[in-house]
Structure formats: C-alpha cells, structure tokens
Structure 1
Amino acid sequence: MTTSPVTLDSVLALLRAQPHDEDQLEQIAQEARLLPIAELVYLVGSRPATEAALLFRVLDKELALAVFEELPPLHQAELISGLRTPQVAEIIGDLDPDDRALLFDELPASIAERLLHGLDADERAMTTAVLGYSRDAIGRYMSPEVLPLRPTMTAGEALEHVRTHAAEPETIYMLPVVDATRRLLGVIGLRRLLLSEGDEVIGDLAHEAVHARATDDREEVARRFFGAKLLAMPIVDSEQRLVGILTVDDAVEILEQENAEDSARTSGSEPLPRAYLSTPILRIVRSRVVWLLVLAVSAILTVQVLEIFEDRLDQVVILALFIPLLTGTGGNTGNQAATTVTRALAVGEVRVRDLPRVVWRELRVGVTLGSVLGVLGLLVSGLVYGWPIGLVMGTTLLAVCTMAAIVGGLMPIVAKKVGADPAVFSNPFISTFCDATGLIIYFTIATAVLGL
C-alpha cells in the first residue's frame, strides 16, 4: 500500500500531543496500520523514548514484532524499559534465539536474566547456547533451530519430515544431513529434494557442505557465505557436529554492521549503536571526540617538523606555498592505497602473508603516480618560480607518492596481523604520518638542491 506523507505527519502530530486519551490511542493505532513497516521502524527509531514506546504499545502483536526485529539491539533494549511486562514477554518469546541473544547483550544483567527465565525450556536452552559464544564469533549470529535429515532416509520420507516440522526451523531451503551423533555429512537443497524420486536415498542426493565453525570470526564467515552464493550455511562445533545454521538475512546484517563500522572509523569516528536522530547529542560527541583528540595530538608532529625547518623557510619563503599541495597529495595517495588494501583484506583477496607482494605492488604504483605528478610539478613550478624550485617539487612529489603508497598499503596488513581493525589505521593516522614524513622529505630535498 502506498502511503502519503499526510499519514506519517498525522501520526507524528498525534504522538506529540499530550496527554493521550483512549480515543487518541485508537486513532494512532488506526493511522499506524496504514504505514509500511519501513515507516514504522523510522518513527520508532527516530522519536524520543516515550513517544517510541507509546507508538509501539498501540501496534498489534504481529506488527509490533516485525518492527521490533528491524531495530538495532541497543534501541530494542531501551524500548523494552518503556513497555508493559506482558507485551515484553510476548515479544521476547517470539524472537529467534540469535536475535534474542543480541538483545540480551544490551540489557542490564538482572533484566536479561529475568527475561531468560521467563522463556520455556526449549527456547531458554537455545538462547543460552547462542549466548555461550563471543560477540565476534559466528555462533552468536546462527540460529540453533535447524531441521536435519538422516542419510538413510528416502526422499519421500524426508519430504514428509519437512512438511511435518516446516514451522520449527528458521529456514528449510537448505537442509543439513547428519548422522546419529549430529556430525555433518552434507547438505541438500529443498529444490533438489522436491525433484527427486521418492525412493532415492538422501545420503546419495546430498553434496558436500560449505560450513563454518561456531567460533570462527563473524565477518570472515559472512564474506565466505556470499562468496559461495549461499542461502544458508551449516555451523558446526570443533567435532563437526551441527549446532546451528546461518541464514542470508543474518549474513547481510553482519556485513552491514562491519561496513558501517569501517566507514565510520575510516573517517575518524566510532559507529553509532542506534538511529542517528534518536542518538543523544553527548553520545554523538563521544563517538567523535576521541579520534579528534588523537589526531590533534598527532598533528603536533607536523608543527614540530615545520619548526625544525623554520630557518629554511626564512631563506626561501616560496617553499611555504607548496606545503598544502605536498601534504594533501601524500595524504590522498596513502588513503587511496589503504582503502584499496583494507577492502581487499575484507573480501579475502589479500592475506597477511601477501605483505611483500602488496608492498612491491604499491611501490610500483607509487613510483608511477609520483612520476606523472612529478613531471607536472616540475614543469609548472619550474616555469613560474624557476627550475631549481621545479626540480625540488618534481623530486618531492615522486618521493612522497612512493612513500605514501607503500605506507598506505602496509598499515592495514600490519593492523590485521596485530589483531587491530584495519580501518582504524587508514585515513586518520596515514594522513598525519604522511604529512610529517612528507615535510621531512620536502625540506631534505630542498636543502640538497638549493644548498640551504
């Protein structure tokens, strides 16, 4: 159904109106039913906590659950505090175990424990199993609700088994095949099962499974998931026993979170845990101020370099005019290399052991870029300010581009090696490093060429 802006505005107006009587609450409910899920998620995610809780209360159970599942875990936790206990219990009980575990991560321990004990025994056991893995492990994002098949089943028996239990697992498009000890033997797609003869044996129809261990890193597994073009992936323990399944929606969510985190850190800030419009101002400030302070302290290096070469600037004032050009070129070259290598690391095109190859490749890229810019700098500055200055500029651009490309390609891999986030070592630190180092190269070449 297409929704006009008037409907959205009317819901906003009703939410802002105080106090709310029964007629107004009913009107909000009627208007809200006309909005698509995406608009309701926007309203709940962008309004203050009291208004969001009010809107959520008037939604029917199915609509409320659909909206709740689309919210970030931190926002889910904050919303729960403003809802009635019976409504909370219903919502928590209807969540998938993996989504429930992410929500419990954001709740105070006492509340999470109370909600956990309010679940039935099966749901509690599945949720506890997911909570047993670290936040970076893929086991934290898998669904333990799986429908396995035995290799001795016929296709007809397997189809009947799927029909009987189809409502229990999160997906039935990919069916794991396990032995009596739940050891993973292979997988079979629902399409192939439907097209098979009724007397064919599942063990003969199944094929080798692309799978992951529950303790594997979530981002690496998610990227492998999409690289193999899967709809679902079996998750096993250290003894190859099936413990859960990763579905495509959870893999998408993982990569969205990782990409948002990398994007924020590349620009020198921390990712926001909830919608921008509903994030408190101080929380946004905290996400940015740490990196600004770090970069401000780092930038002092540039000032100190200028102070060291102050006497050269006094002798040839024209050198100061080219400082922004050189620092900008070095920073941009380094950032380009870092961004390219960081992405290559993320998608598995480059690994830590490829460090020498990356350095050699970036060396050649840097020399080529530096040669092009250096010739241009030599000609332009030489014609305008004299050939000695032109020689300084051309040589410096060659050296700076080469240095920046190598450093930009090197630092993400070093970060990966020491267990840090490669995005953190991209734009902010590389820019500062290339600024200071580029100035040292610049004044060293100027001193040699101009005899300062």
Structure 2
Amino acid sequence: MSRARRTREQQQEQTRQAVREARLRRAGDAERLRAILHGADLPLVVDELERMNTRQRATAFRMLPRDSSVRALQMLEPAVQAELVEALPDAQARLLVAELDPDDRARLLDGLPMDLSERLLRSLTPQEWEATAAVLSHRPETVGRWSTPRLVSVSQEATVADALRAVRADTGDAETVYAVPVVDAEHRVVGVVSLRRLLATDPGRPVHEVMREPISVYASDDQEDAARVVRDHGALAVPVLDDDHRLVGMFTVDDAMRVLQIEEAEDEARAVGRERLDRPYLTTSFLALARGRITWLLILIVAATLTVNVLDHFEDQLQQVVSLALFIPLLIGTGGNIGAQAASTMIRALAIDDVRPGDVFRVMVKELTTGLTLGVALAVFAYLPAQFFTESRVALVISLSLVVVCGLAATAGGVIPLVARRLGVDPAVVSAPFITTFVDATGLVVYFLIAGAVLGL
C-alpha cells in the first residue's frame, strides 16, 4: 500500500472517529473535534451521521462548522434531513433552512410536519419565501421541484460584456453560472451561452451571435425524463420552462444525477418486490422494512392462487405419475430466473433509451430465440441427471418442458416491461409479479400437457 493511500485512510478514519465522538458532546474535546471536522471529507461525515439515531445525529451535527453543516444537510437522505431539522433547536433550524437553495429547501419542507414547515417558511425573507413558494407550486416528482429560480439570464439584445457583468453581479446568489440562458422580451428562452464562451469572446459582440440552440425541459416534465436529458446531452444545466415557454429556473447536473440515483434505487427495489428505503438501512425500523415488503408479498400470494388452480386441474396426472411433482420447483424456478434476467435487461435498456415500446416485435423475436437457446442447453444438461431420479420418459418430459418454458419466460420478461411502458406504467412496478405469475402458471400448463402427450396420461 502506498504512503499516500495510507495517509488518506488514516485521515478518513480520523474523520469518522471525530464524528462518532461528536455525538457524545464532551465539552473538553469540542475545540479539537471542530478542528478535525473543519474541512473534513463531507461524504464521510454524512455516512457516519446516517448511521446514528436521531438524538446522536443532532448532537454531532451541531459540532460541524456552519458552511459544512449546510452542505452536509443537503447530502443527507430526505427522511433523515427532516428528522434532523425536527431535532435541532428552532434557531439553528431557521438558520440552516435559510441557507439552503430554494429547491433543496422546498423538498425538505415537504417532509416536515405542517406546523414546523409553516414556522420555517414564515422565518424566511420575502425574497426567499417567494422563491421557495415558486418551487413548491410544481407537482411532486416533476423537474419543477428540482429547478432553482436562482439563475442568471441575459437579453438577446445584450453584448458579451453585458452578460459578463450580469454573471459577476449575481455570482453570489445564482446556483449555477456555467450555462446562461438568453431570453427575449417576453422572457422566452431563445438560446444558451456557456460562461467559457463568454470569457473567450470579444466583449463587444452581441450575445445572440455566440449563443447556441437551447436544450430545455418543461417544469411539468417527469423528473427522471428531465434528468436523462441532462445526462444524455452532457449538460451542466438546462433551462426549465413553464407551459408558456417562459424561463422559470435551471435544472443542474448535480440534481439530475441525484434524481437518477433515486429512480434507479426505486426501480431496483421494485424489480425484486419491495419499496425503496427512504433512509439508510441501519436507521430504518423493522416495521418500515416490513411495510416496504408486505404489499408485494400479498400481491404474489394472490398471484400464486393461479398456480394452485393449475395444480388442482392436473391432479389426476400427478396421482398417476407422482415423480412429476419432484421436478416442478426446478421447472418454474428456472423459468422464473430466465424471466427475471430478461426483465432486468429490458428495464435497464428502457432506462437508457436503448429500446422503445415500438421495438416490441424485435424484442419478442430476440428474447424467444435467446430463451429457446438457453432451454436447449439446459435440457441437454438436465436429461442425464434426471434419469437417476425417474424413468427416461419423464426425463424427456422435463427436457422438452425446459425448452418451451425457457422460451416463454424469456419472451415474457422482454415484452412485459415494454407493454407496461406503452401503458404509462413503471415497468419495474409490474415486471416482478406479472412475470412470476405468468411463468409459474404457463410453465405448469406446458409441463403437464407435454407429460400427457409423452406419457399418454
């Protein structure tokens, strides 16, 4: 291990230890801890804060320098933010909330009790209250809730020198100045110019000669769709417009990346049949964990009744060849795994716009071919071992069933997310329960039909 790496790890451990000690609030150590935490690596500080209970977190948080405390608050999970602000003295809470950007402040106030939220709003200056109210006027989970009204914009009639003066005048208030919207007389965005271009251009040139076509989003757009626009275009910030195409804010790259992180965590959770945790695991109660899983478990139990009905229908075949029952878990388990693989691949492809709902027939053919290929490979692999447990004809039933079930499962796993997207439903929400139900039920029907044909039942 290099000396630089050892030094960095020692500094990280010192920061973690300082945060852990800060929760105890030892009077004699206060200055030493503040000195360590001053300029400390904030992600490490936040990681330790999120591992504490509410009282310890509030105690340790009060030891942070003021500038660090604001940034640390912004980095905490929303539910943890709300708990922390509730646990802090009113005076400190008001100071912290006043320091936040309007979009960050609006999301925090959303998670607070109504009375506390109103008290904090009343403590703001008229300008800050107006900016926060503007963000809160947008619907939840739209990009409007993530847009900052603190921005620099310039008229299309302005010169480069005028634009640079505007940037310098508002640098302290604006959340970003790296992309400057250019607007017309009605405050509609006609272009965007980067700060770099302004600095490299003759100050006397008109702005409309150096601006480029704007990449913009509407405040009513879904937050995930808007975040993908920022990511796909490699933009540092994009203008946010209202329904009349007027500029209302800017959506920055750091907020876009956070939206994508939230959405991906939500999709991953729903793909395995649970809800996304809104706080770190160690600070989530067992009741919250159970609540996030119980709904999906109930849905899957209801769906499983279809499988029970299929078994009941083919009860006579099972009684005639009891050994068929031995391989039911293998069959539906393999089908479920293949369906899950196809679904996760498709959900990811949809997320990055690699496929679209209109590609459903191409996806169907590709996944059917892939599933049949896997089925043949697994059937060959399973045929010989199956003969150790049962007769060769039953082994043949198992192999043939694997081929068909794998083809059906892969096709369902690829198509169901596309159909869900076409219907305006989150693919991650429906994929897990629908694929499980489809594969279990159809897999058993296929199995018993093939058994009836091969064994003459």
Which TM-score applies when normalising by structure 2? 0.91
For the pair 1:433 / 2:438, whether they are aligned, the reply is yes
Counterpart of 1:419?
A: 424
What are structure 1's unaligned runs of at least 5 residues?
none
Give the letter for the 1:5 counterpart. E
2:23 counterpart (12, 15, 25): 15
Alpha-carbon spacing, 1:14–1:161, altered in 2? closer, same or farther (3 Å): closer
Give the letter for the 2:239 counterpart. P
Q: Could you tell me how far apart the structure 2 residues matched to 1:382 and 1:22 are?
A: 75
Counterpart of 1:402?
A: 407
Counterpart of 1:48?
A: 53
1:351 counterpart (350, 356, 360): 356
Alpha-carbon spacing, 1:371–1:79, altered in 2? closer, same or farther (3 Å): same
Give the letter for the 2:138 counterpart. Y
Counterpart of 1:159?
A: 164
Deviates more, 1:182-191 or 1:389-398: 389-398
Give the letter for the 2:75 counterpart. E
Counterpart of 1:65?
A: 70
Counterpart of 2:5?
A: none
Q: Contact between 2:12 and 2:44, CA under 8 Å: does it hold in 1?
A: no
Alpha-carbon spacing, 1:426–1:120, altered in 2? closer, same or farther (3 Å): same
Q: Contact between 1:367 and 1:401, CA under 8 Å: does it hold in 2?
A: yes
Counterpart of 2:269?
A: 264
Counterpart of 2:180?
A: 175
Give the letter for the 2:173 counterpart. E
Alpha-carbon spacing, 1:46–1:239, altered in 2? closer, same or farther (3 Å): same
Q: Could you tell me how far apart the structure 2 residues matched to 1:30 and 1:52 are?
A: 19
Give the letter for the 1:194 counterpart. L
Superposed, which structure 2 residues align to 1:195-206 within 5 Å?
Answer: 195-206=200-211
Q: Contact between 2:81 and 2:108, CA under 8 Å: does it hold in 1?
A: yes
Alpha-carbon spacing, 1:248–1:174, altered in 2? closer, same or farther (3 Å): same
Question: Shift of the alpha carbon at 1:30?
Answer: 4.5
Deviates more, 1:427-436 or 1:441-450: 427-436
1:26-50 deviation digits (Å, cap 9, x = unpaired): 5554554474212221222111111
Alpha-carbon spacing, 1:245–1:349, altered in 2? closer, same or farther (3 Å): same
1:284-328 deviation digits (Å, cap 9, x = unpaired): 221122222322333343344333323322322332232222112
1:122 counterpart (127, 150, 154): 127
Question: Shift of the alpha carbon at 1:342?
Answer: 1.2
Segments of 4+ moved more than 6 angstroms: none
Q: Contact between 1:352 and 1:416, CA under 8 Å: does it hold in 2?
A: yes
Question: Shift of the alpha carbon at 1:60?
Answer: 2.3
Superposed, which structure 2 residues align to 1:215-226 within 5 Å?
Answer: 215-226=220-231
Counterpart of 1:307?
A: 312
Count of matched residue positions in the alignment of Structure 1 and Structure 2: 449
Q: Contact between 1:26 and 1:58, CA under 8 Å: does it hold in 2?
A: no
Q: Contact between 2:19 and 2:45, CA under 8 Å: does it hold in 1?
A: no
Q: Could you tell me how far apart the structure 2 residues matched to 1:420 and 1:197 are?
A: 51
Secondary structure of 1:172 counterpart: coil
Q: Could you tell me how far apart the structure 2 residues matched to 1:289 and 1:383 are?
A: 40
Deviates more, 1:401-410 or 1:184-193: 401-410
Compute the RMSD of aligned alpha carbons: 2.3
For the pair 1:230 / 2:238, whether they are aligned, the reply is no
Give the letter for the 1:228 counterpart. H
Q: Could you tell me how far apart the structure 2 residues matched to 1:226 and 1:282 are?
A: 36
Alpha-carbon spacing, 1:14–1:70, altered in 2? closer, same or farther (3 Å): closer
Identity %: 42
Superposed, which structure 2 residues align to 1:223-372 within 5 Å?
Answer: 223-372=228-377
Q: Contact between 2:179 and 2:237, CA under 8 Å: does it hold in 1?
A: yes
Question: Shift of the alpha carbon at 1:4?
Answer: 5.4
Question: Shift of the alpha carbon at 1:25?
Answer: 4.8
Superposed, which structure 2 residues align to 1:375-386 within 5 Å?
Answer: 375-378=380-383, 381=386, 385-386=390-391
Q: Could you tell me how far apart the structure 2 residues matched to 1:200 and 1:6 are?
A: 53
For the pair 1:89 / 2:89, whether they are aligned, the reply is no
Secondary structure of 2:454 counterpart: helix
Deviates more, 1:150-159 or 1:167-176: 150-159
Question: Shift of the alpha carbon at 1:372?
Answer: 3.3
1:146 counterpart (142, 146, 151): 151
Alpha-carbon spacing, 1:356–1:75, altered in 2? closer, same or farther (3 Å): same
Counterpart of 2:4?
A: none
Q: Could you tell me how far apart the structure 1 residues matched to 2:332 and 2:358 are?
A: 31
1:166-221 deviation digits (Å, cap 9, x = unpaired): 22211111111111211100111111111112222110111101111110111111
Q: Contact between 2:331 and 2:443, CA under 8 Å: does it hold in 1?
A: yes
Give the letter for the 1:287 counterpart. G
Q: Contact between 1:374 and 1:397, CA under 8 Å: does it hold in 2?
A: yes
Secondary structure of 1:243 counterpart: strand
Q: Could you tell me how far apart the structure 2 residues matched to 1:368 and 1:247 are?
A: 45
Question: Shift of the alpha carbon at 1:235?
Answer: 0.9
What are structure 2's unaligned runs of at least 5 residues?
1-7
Q: Could you tell me how far apart the structure 2 residues matched to 1:399 and 1:10 are?
A: 60
Counterpart of 1:207?
A: 212
Q: Contact between 1:186 and 1:208, CA under 8 Å: does it hold in 2?
A: yes
Secondary structure of 1:58 counterpart: coil
Alpha-carbon spacing, 1:205–1:317, altered in 2? closer, same or farther (3 Å): same
Which TM-score applies when normalising by structure 1? 0.92
Give the letter for the 2:90 counterpart. T
Alpha-carbon spacing, 1:8–1:162, altered in 2? closer, same or farther (3 Å): closer
Deviates more, 1:24-33 or 1:78-87: 24-33
Question: Shift of the alpha carbon at 1:120?
Answer: 1.2
Q: Could you tell me how far apart the structure 1 residues matched to 2:396 and 2:26 are?
A: 79
Deviates more, 1:311-320 or 1:366-375: 366-375
For the pair 1:5 / 2:16, whether they are aligned, the reply is no
Q: Could you tell me how far apart the structure 2 residues matched to 1:199 and 1:208 are?
A: 21
